[in-house]
Structure 1
Amino acid sequence: MCRSQHSSALPRRRGEQIRTPAGELDLSGATAITQISPGQAGEVFDGYRRVDNITDEILSIYQQALGVDITKDDIFYFVYGQLHDPGYREAYETDLKKMLPHIETPTDRRRFDQLTAAGRELVELHVNYEDVEPYPVTVDVKKTADPGDRETWRVQKLRWAKRTDPDTGKNVDDVTTMIYNSKVTIRDIPEEANHYMLGSRSALAWIIDRHQVKKDKASGIINDPNDWADEIGNPHYIVDLIAKVTRVAVETVRIVDTLSEDTE
């Protein structure tokens, strides 16, 4: 099973703040920052104009290389797919640690279409992760705990369960089981879910790190992830989030694995 790593990419579009020419009245109430680039006119919202990050020049280059039916959206999804391609990541591993990624203009239409389709799926997963079907993890609640009690679902500090490594005899993280709190345990997390990496950690490891009650020593401010669950009136929010991120991770690994297959 190949490992996937989430990649940050330039957004599909960006907002440029409009600069009012000298001597003209600015009714937007916005502070000027930049002139709009030639040929990049777009819709204006609150003093910002929406600008396409895929330029007409790049579109022309790709259409000449691959066909006139190529669209700017195709190019965007292709880039997102390419940045998740294990072969690309391995080939340029050193460079990617030091600089922004560089992607050559593709010449193989079939490979371009494959990466574009994969990129489209990945974007949908990563952008709309809270709307995916939760992975059917098993949520065990102790018999002495009341599932209807809000306190049953409060998080203090998530952690992995432990297991004994048969080769070393040492205790290691069991990434198939998460200790939610003293009353709740989440089981049957697919091991491959932890192959989806966000930088140096898996997506689920980030959930563990971020969803714990912390107190800032300097300010005394307490960061409590349970507050959001209370605010939206869903005591199971963090449990649901774990199941959804598990789904996203499993599906990401599945998609990325197809990019490693021989395309001939």
Structure 2
Amino acid sequence: FFGIPICLTLLSFFVFRFLPLKHSNEQKPPRLFTAEELSLYNGTDSRLPILLGIMGSVFDVSKGNTHYAIGGGYNHFSGRDASRAFVSGNFKEEGLTDDLTGLTSSEVKSVLDWRDFYFRSYEYAGKLEGRYYDRYGNPTKFLKGAESKAARGAQLLEKQKIEEAKATSCNSKWSQEDGSEVWCDEGYPRLVQRPHEIAITGKASKRCICIKDDELGRPGLEVYNGCEPHETKCRL
């Protein structure tokens, strides 16, 4: 009979010493902030951490307090979700918003890239109730829509990269004395529309490629102003 308590004691010691308690591995659900609560963590109170939101995800950026505290270059991001300003560069009050309406797919992708940067570089603190997460912390249609748009932008960028790799880009240089100059080691400089650029950025743009003799009849080629069709070097 005396051996039973001893065995139970040893068994208890083994369980609590070597087997982790179940609740020790359970992660607490992320905290859900309101906009008013998040605004308290803007660096004005040294007793509180500095938090910022992007796409509804909240991060503790206290370790970068030289940048995010009052007087820091990024303090305008602290205590709020200013997702749009990460790509717009508008740091006035009206620009410090989480509304991404009207941004192109590549711009939305850039915002998500910034969000990924904060996930890699700073401590995740929770979610912000509002545009991107509802009162229960569930993703809203706005978050899903933004992520889908960013994915579309990434696909278009990759497709454009593959298509542009098929043509040799012109060499180029600029100097204060001579201005800009483009040239081809083989072929002739021609301007062409960048494929998918309007869908990606909302604007049309052109690039310089080198065209060989047997390709000169290809549609969509534009000779630089002031440059002869068979010149290999053009000053702009």
* TM-score of the aligned structures, taking structure 2 as reference length: 0.25
**Quick check: which has more Rg, 1 or 2?**
2
Higher relative contact order (CA closer than 8 Å, sequence separation 6+): 1
When normalised by structure 1's length, the TM-score is 0.23
